[in-house]
Amino acid sequence: MIKLGYIRNTVDLDLLVPEESRSQWLDLMRGLGYRILHEVSALAQFEPGNSGAPPVDLMFVDQATWEKLTEGATPIDLAGENILLPRPEHLVALKVHAANSPTRTKPELDWEDIRQIVRI
C-alpha cells in the first residue's frame, strides 16, 4: 500500500508467491531467522527472530493465479530488490478475498485499503 502512495501504519510485509515454490520460501524465511507463527494451505505468517525485522506474511497461489497477477504488474524496488507490484484491480481482488476470510480479525483495515486503492 505504501508503494502505491497510501501511508498506513502497518508493520508487516505481505508477499504473494507461487505455491510451487512454497518449500523454497519456507526455507528462505527460516534461513533469515524467521519463525512460523501460523501456517495454512494458502498462507504462512512469520515473526522475526530479531526485533528490527518486520513480520512477514507469505500468501501462496496456484500457477494460473500467479500468471494472472503478474501480468501487467509493475516492477519496483524494495530494499534493493526488484519485485512486482500487481495492478490496482488485482490488489483490490486480493483485499476483498482477505477481508472475507473467516479468520480475519480486522477486515475493516482491508476495506479501508480498498477505498484508498480506488482513489489512487
Domains of the chain (ranges plus CATH)? 2-119 (3.30.460.40)
Nearest to 86 by CA among 98, 110, 69, 99: 69
Following DSSP, what letter does each residue of 19-52 receive, concatenated? GGGHHHHHHHHHHTT-EEEEEETTEEEEE-SSTT
Q: In terms of pTM, does the model score above 0.75?
A: yes
pLDDT digits (tens, 9 = 90+) for 68-108: 989 989 898 888 889 888 888 888 888 887 777 776 777 78
Provide the 8-state DSSP code for 66: H
pLDDT score of 42: 86
